[in-house]
């Protein structure tokens, strides 16, 4: 099984900050990596697919990069609505999610 490890598991940030979340795969997954945002009480939302492609309707302050085993999600100029938990998900083999990163208000 391919294990996905996210870091940090949580972070505190302020509106306007730049936030970077890392996701590491236990083996190479090329660019079979997606990122989701999950706000409490809401359905998870696809942000980035194939490591770096922005899903339609997602603000351009979100960006993804990486390939192989290491990936990052960056949020430029954090907004109030961005406080949420973020998950990576690989689809190189059967889909699997990372442990999540909770972005909280400082």
* 67: contact with other proteins by CB under 8 A: no
* 99: contact with other proteins by CB under 8 A: yes
3-state helix, strand, coil split of the chain in percent (to 5) is 5, 50, 45
Report the residue number, 34 or 84, with the smaller CB distance to other proteins: 34
Rounded to whole angstroms, how far apart are CA atoms 93 and 96? 8
Segment 73 to 92, residues that bind other proteins, using CB under 8 A: 87, 89, 91
For residue 43, give every residue at least 6 positions away whose Cβ sits within 8 Å of its Cβ, in sequence order, or none.
Answer: none
Contact string (CB under 8 A) for other proteins, positions 25-64, x = contact: -------x-x-x-x---xxxxx--xx--xxx---------
Rounded to whole angstroms, how far apart are CA atoms 68 and 87? 17
Residues contributing to the site for other proteins (CB under 8 A): 1, 32, 34, 36, 38, 42-46, 49-50, 53-55, 87, 89, 91, 94-100
């Amino acid at each position: 099984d391919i294990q996905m490890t996210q870091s940090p598991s949580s972070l505190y940030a302020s509106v306007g900050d730049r936030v970077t979340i890392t996701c590491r795969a236990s083996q190479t997954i090329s660019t079979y990596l997606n990122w989701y945002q999950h706000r409490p009480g809401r359905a998870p939302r696809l942000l980035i697919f194939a490591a770096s492609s922005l899903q339609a309707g997602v603000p351009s302050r979100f960006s993804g990069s990486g390939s192989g085993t290491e990936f990052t999600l960056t949020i430029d100029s954090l907004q109030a609505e961005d406080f949420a938990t973020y998950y990576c998900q690989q689809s190189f083999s059967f889909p699997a999610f990372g442990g999540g990163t909770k972005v909280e208000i400082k």
